[in-house]
Amino acid sequence: MLDVQRGILTRNKKEIALPKLSYELLLALLKASPTLLTQSELMEVVWPNVVIGDETLKQRVKLLRKVLGDNASEPIYIEAVRGRGYRLVPEVSCECILARPAAVMLDLTGNDQFPNLDSQQFIGIWQTVSKTVFVMLFVISLLVVIYGYFFQKHMVSALTQAITEQKLSHGVVEKNDQESNSEQIAEELYQKGLLYYRRYRAVDNLIAIDFYKKALVAKADYSLAYAGLSQAYSQQLFQFESNEQTQKKAIDNAYQAIVFDSQSAESYKALGTAYYVAGWLSKSIAPYLKSLAIDPDNTATVSNLSFIYSEQGRLIEALELNERALTLDSQHVVSMVHAGQTLHRLGQFTLAKNWYQKAIALQPDYLLATYHLGMLLIEEGQYNNAEILFKEALKLYRENPLLTEGLADVYFAFKEKDRALEYYQKLQNKAQEQDVKDTSSANLMRLLLTLPESNNELINVATIFKNKLQTGTDKALFSYNLAMIYAQVEQPQLAIRYLVQSIEQGLTPVAKIEKQAMFEPLHQLSSYKKLLTNMKMNMSRNMSRNISSNKNKIKDNSMQSLSFWQASKNN
């Protein structure tokens, strides 16, 4: 029962404490019942004049369910209708209850006859009745005096107890109000952090981290803030710097998020992301699948999982998830870039370019889209266009490490090694200023271009790559980098060995091996030629097997996926 005048929710006469936002959400659903309310309608009622995301509403519904003892998978109170909104499951009745004062009412309407006052019989009867009434009144008065004595003592005791209970209750209410206020502050700070995190720039990512930390100061057990911190540290590690301490923070905060809410999709997504940036691709899949089991319609989770499958060489599965993500949110720029990467690996260059350009048009400062478009142009041999792309972007985002690396790669592909080395060296100088152990591809290229002077440094970097592989990393990039190192230090057998390993770990683009200048010392080896031939045959065989067959659901979906991308080309 919800008393809307006093704002109190009770079950079996026991009060259930509700934070303000949860109360407003429940009230909105009650007023609308049995009608379904869309997400936007609920946001307007519960958060008037405040811009929030779908995730905030989902978390608020989850908190309300938790208080009510409801279950999202088998709801008895709040039902989520996918893609539409929410409604209450039980029938709702509205009652107007008034407290009626006790009253004694004398009804004289049933007797319309007046007595004969002259009648002696009546006088005798009246005297008898009067005496009887007098005796009864005397006895009642005596009982009242006796009862009053004992009742007064009882009332004093009861009043004292009531005052004590009121004080305790007031303390509980104050505590609940404080908790509700703390949660609201933490949620607002989390939402601000999320806005900066989604800008995908180094300075904005640091601001996001600061907001998430402030949210935890407001409410130390706020799970979403821990998940946000984990994601921000993962992004810092993935895009802006390579630091073991940052990697540890990403994983630790994800586990903290799970500790405070083991049914949070965001917590498991954060753990999956942290595992991925640590290089543990296979290990990252389980948390993502758990996140999707809790929230099947989370676009970011679907998109991230597609990216991992793509890196593992599971391209058709990746493509299906790309399609699913963009069906959920056709304006999601990260999903567009992930789709472009998968299509790029499949050799669908025109379609890949289309999605990179769409992402850039929607969010020009999402520089990963620009970087991958430039890499595609290099692979196509359009070096001049790639150079123009990176130079124009660097005018706006000066000294951005990703764009600087892209421009260096253009000059390396141009076979202008001195100019390439100049830009690779700039990135190394910046890493040294930040006291970061640089194991990036840019630093590796710098070392390879300055051999034999850099031989000792190169050995140290190779040791780091090996250690990562020995401690569970299954990222193809580390094996690929080792192959380049051994090709340049004239250990061809080891180079081939790590090339094979990178292919087994998911490296699919043939051009990554065939057009890589660092592998030129291997070109005359029969083992290298055989490896390339097998790679091309396997790619062709896998594509035809997955695309042309209609024998099972996965293969049917593959055909549908490719049709989706073809249809969306001009969309």
Question: Is residue 32 one of the residues assigned to a domain?
Answer: yes
Residue 300 near residue 313 (C-beta atoms within 8 A)? no
User: What is the DSSP secondary-structure string of 65-84?
Assistant: HHHHT--SSS-SSEEEETTT
pLDDT of residue 393: 95
Which of 71-78's residues contact partners 24+ apart within 8 Å by CB, and which partners?
Answer: 78/29
Q: What's the number of CA atoms in the CB half-sphere (13 Å) around residue 457?
A: 16
Q: Is the pLDDT assigned to residue 226 strictly greater than 80? A: yes
What pLDDT, in 10s, does the model give residues 430-470? 777 665 555 678 889 999 999 999 999 999 999 999 998 99
**455 is a domain residue:** no
CA dist., res. 327 & res. 503, Å (int): 31
Which uninterrupted H or E stretch holds 539?
Answer: helix 526-548
Note whether residue 12 is domain-resident. Answer: yes
Considering the domain boundaries, does residue 311 fall inside one? no
Reply yes or no on whether the pLDDT at 528 is more than 90: yes
pLDDT, average across residues 24-51 = 84
pLDDT at residue 285 in the model:
95
Q: What is the largest CA-CA distance in the chain?
A: 145
pLDDT at 471 (0 to 100): 85
Radius of gyration of the chain (CA): 36
Examine residue 209 and state whether it is found in any structural domain, yes or no: yes
Average pLDDT over the chain reads 82
Q: What are phi and psi of 211, to 5 degrees?
A: -65, -40
The pair phi, psi for residue 174, each rounded to 5°, is -60, -40
Tell me the residue range of the domain where 192 lies: 178-295
The CATH number of the domain holding residue 57 is: 1.10.10.10
Examine the fold and report which residue of 278, 295, 312 is the final residue of a domain before the chain moves on.
295
Q: Given 255, 274, 295, which residue is the final one in a domain?
A: 295
Q: Is the pLDDT of residue 115 over 60?
A: no
Task: Tell me the residue type at 222.
Answer: Y
Mean pLDDT of 18-23: 86
Number of domains the chain is built from = 2
Residue-wise pLDDT for 313-329, tens only, equals: 999 899 999 999 999 99
Within a domain: 272: yes
Phi-psi domain of 441 (left: phi exceeds 0; alpha: psi -120 through 50; beta: other): alpha
In a domain, 25, yes or no: yes
CA-CA-CA-CA dihedral for 227, 229, 233, 236, to nearest 10: 110
Average pLDDT on 5-11 reads 85
The residue assigned the tokens 């005052």 is 163
CATH code for the domain in which residue 225 is found: 1.25.40.10
pTM for this entry = 0.66
Q: What is the pLDDT of residues 396-410, one digit of tens each?
A: 998 888 999 999 999
Q: How confident is the model at residue 565 (pLDDT cuts 50, 70, 90)?
A: low
Q: Hey, which of 32-36, 77-81, 164-168 has the most confident mean pLDDT?
A: 77-81
364 preceded by a cis bond (ω within 30 of 0): no
Domain's final residue, options 275, 295, 315: 295
pLDDT at 351 over 50: yes
> Does position 159 have pLDDT exceeding 70, yes or no?
no
| pLDDT of 268 strictly over 70 | yes
Give the whole-angstrom CA distance, residue 473 versus residue 479.
10
Q: How far is CA 324 from the centre of its chain?
A: 17
Q: What is the mean predicted confidence (pLDDT) over 59-88? A: 87
For residue 525, is it within any domain?
no
pLDDT interval class at 556 (50, 70, 90): very low
Strand extents, DSSP E, 141-298: none
Cβ atoms of 357 and 337 within 8 Å: the answer is no
52-56: list long-range contacts, CB under 8 Å, 24+ apart. 52/191, 53/191, 53/194, 55/194, 55/266, 56/187, 56/191
Over range 190-199, report the average pLDDT. 90
